[in-house]
Each structure stands twice: as C-alpha cells, then as structure tokens.
Amino acid sequence: MTEPVSPFKGKTGLARIINAAGYSWAGLTAAFRHEDAFRQEVFLLVLLVPLALYLGDNGIERALMIAALLLVLIVELLNSAVEAAVDRVSLELHPLIKRAKDMGSAAVMISLINVAVVWLLMIAG
C-alpha cells in the first residue's frame, strides 16, 4: 500500500532546492518588510558581525559570537511565523493565543540574553 502524496508537494531534485531557496528569500523579505523587530535585529547583526570579527581571538570565538547573533534572527522568524499563523486563525483575545505569543516573545528574549552572555564571556576572556 502506498502512502498518500500531498497535492502541495512540488518538484524534486535541483528544482526543489531552487524553489525552496525562493520561498526562503520570500520569507526573509516578508520579515524585513513587515516586522519591526526583525529589522532592528538585522541592524544589530550588521553592526556586531564586524565587531565579532575584530574582537574574536580565533575562528571559534568569532563563530560563536556570530552564531549567537544569527540565532536571534532564527528565533525572531519563528516567533513572527507563529504570530502570523495565530492572527490568521483568529484575532480574538484568547488565553491560548496570548500564551503562544508570549512564549514566542520569551524565546526571542532568551536568544538576546544568549547573545549578551556569549559576548561577555568572549570579551572577558
């Protein structure tokens, strides 16, 4: 017996990779256009990546400092995706909707704290 195939599944091979890259670019563009926090975090990344390259004593330190910054963007994208999906389903005030949005916000906050901790540990030596 064969598994049912989703009608939303697209191409395979190289065409799939190209399509996926296009969807990813569309997601980054949408986040930059519609999410103030994402734009602020991109600005922070643009400022701090050169500083990480300068302050890091070796490749591992530089990689950790930059990875901590990139993690903020990843978490912000996921938070924004959850918020958009929840808002699409319902705009009513509901405790579960509030909980979902608050948890996404908390994840972003923790990722920002992670940046501070990693950078302080690297700079303090």
pLDDT band at 4 (very low <50, low <70, confident <90, very high): confident
User: Residue 7: what pLDDT?
Assistant: 65
Domain ranges of the chain: 36-124
35 belongs to the catalytic site = no
User: Residue 47: what pLDDT?
Assistant: 97
Q: Which of 3, 35, 76, 92 is catalytic?
A: 76
User: Residue 32: what pLDDT?
Assistant: 97
Q: What is the 3-state secondary structure (H, E, C) of the chain?
A: CCCCCCCCCCCCHHHHHHHHHHHHHHHHHHHHHHCHHHHHHHHHHHHHHHHHHHHCCCHHHHHHHHHHHHHHHHHHHHHHHHHHHHHHHCCCCCHHHHHHHHHHHHHHHHHHHHHHHHHHHHHHC
Architecture of the CATH domain 36-124: Orthogonal Bundle (1.10)
pLDDT in tens, 40-88: 999 999 999 999 999 999 999 999 999 999 999 999 999 999 999 999 9
pLDDT in tens, 98-125: 999 999 999 999 999 999 999 999 999 8
User: Residue 8: what pLDDT?
Assistant: 63
pLDDT in tens, 22-43: 999 999 999 999 999 999 999 9
